[in-house]
Amino acid sequence: MWDKVPAPHKKGAYVSFSRDPEVLAAPAEFFGGPVEIASAPVGDVATRRAVVDAVHAQLDVAQPIPDDVKVRDFETTAADGAKLLLRWYAKEGAEPGSAVLFLHGSGMIASSVALYDGTVSRYVSSSGVPFLSVEYRLAPEHPHPTPVEDAYAGLVWLAERAAELGVDPARIAVMGDSGGGGVAAGLALLARDRSGPPIARQILLYPMLDDRNTSPDPALAGLITWSYDDNITGWQALLGDARGGPDVSPYAAPARMRDAAGMPPLYMEALELDIFRDEDIDYARRTAAGVTAELHVHASVPHAFETIAFDSAVAQRMKTDRIRVLRAL
């Protein structure tokens, strides 16, 4: 729940975290009152999908939609023969050069390209860098390896059509938030191991990386927005009975990566009040052993907070960093 904060811990117990005051106030201001979202049982994808999609539909248009971004739809064929939507966003009058392949969030079980139209358009308008958003198919209807294979099909399409789109194929980054950040990291691994199209940078925003992250941290009680039950549900949908076991592929759960050699440079954001915090920091640490890695850990904020508290000082700092990294591609 966005606006529920636990009572201070007693002496000798965990030192409690707290939310940034601007972030704490934002949900009630946005929705016009206290926010209470009923929890769904573990494994209930349908309820989570309905809630997430409805909220995303509101949040995506909560900020102005740029009028200088042109959108075109394309199609490619996935590894299993399915047709996939590819949505290309380009700023009018900008000379592309670089490009970003974007993968939307929501635990690999919800949301869509269309529900990120405003978000992606704002990145493109602010940076001048065009984006290709891939409609990868969602679990549980399409478990691993479908999401990452769909993302790979989008990457191959973009690399093959780089010249006609005005893109340098050596300057393509992959980017995603939350579950989409996990797919983006898995895609970077897959492209490396297949000697596929080169990836110039991973831009991972509080990504979902580790299927073993299922034990609640008491210090985060009452502060998180993506719960451990949500996490179990998402990973179970993607991996089925393999979740948490010894044989999970790093292309599905990139925290399982054994060797970071040859991975693209990394830009990573982790959030203090997020169950993904530690797995994100660890992924950045291991990646930094082989390539440049830039990690920002933002204090006192929960998962995806900037979609609602977009006027907060911390959200504005994050936006500035993201646009800086995009312009540097």
Prior bond of 140 cis (ω within 30°): yes
Please check whether residue 256 is in contact with residue 285, taking contact to mean a CB–CB distance below 8 angstroms.
no
Number of structural domains the chain divides into: 1
215 is catalytic: no
**CA pseudo-torsion sign 101, 152, 143, 278:** negative
What's the CATH number where 156 sits?
Answer: 3.40.50.1820
pLDDT(223) > 50? yes
In tens, the pLDDT along 187-204 reads 999 999 999 999 999 999
Q: Which residue has the higher pLDDT, 222 or 38?
A: 222
Across residues 285-292, what is the average pLDDT?
Answer: 92
Summarize pLDDT for 116-173 with one digit per residue, the tens: 999 999 999 999 999 999 999 999 999 999 999 999 999 999 999 999 999 999 999 9
Give domain status of residue 143, yes or no. yes
Please report whether residue 55 resides in a domain. yes
11 in any annotated domain: no
Active-site residue flag, 274: yes
The CA distance from 324 to 216, in Å, is: 35
Helices within 167-276 (DSSP H only): 179-193, 228-239
**pLDDT computed for residue 15 by the predictor:** 53
Q: Is-catalytic flag, 303?
A: yes
Structural domain includes residue 120:
yes
DSSP E strands, 192-231: 201-205
Q: Which of 133, 178, 300, 312 is catalytic?
A: 178
The pLDDT of residue 211 is: 98
Q: Is the pLDDT of residue 184 over 60?
A: yes
Residue numbers of the domain that contains 301: 21-327
Please check the confidence at residue 13 and state whether its pLDDT lies above 70: no
Q: Which of 20, 274, 280, 298 is catalytic?
A: 274
Task: Give the pLDDT confidence score for residue 8 in this predicted structure.
Answer: 34
Average pLDDT, the chain: 94
Per the domain annotation, does 259 fall within a domain? Answer: yes
Rounded to whole angstroms, how far apart are CA atoms 315 and 329? 22
With beta carbons less than 8 A apart as the criterion, state whether 116 and 52 touch.
no
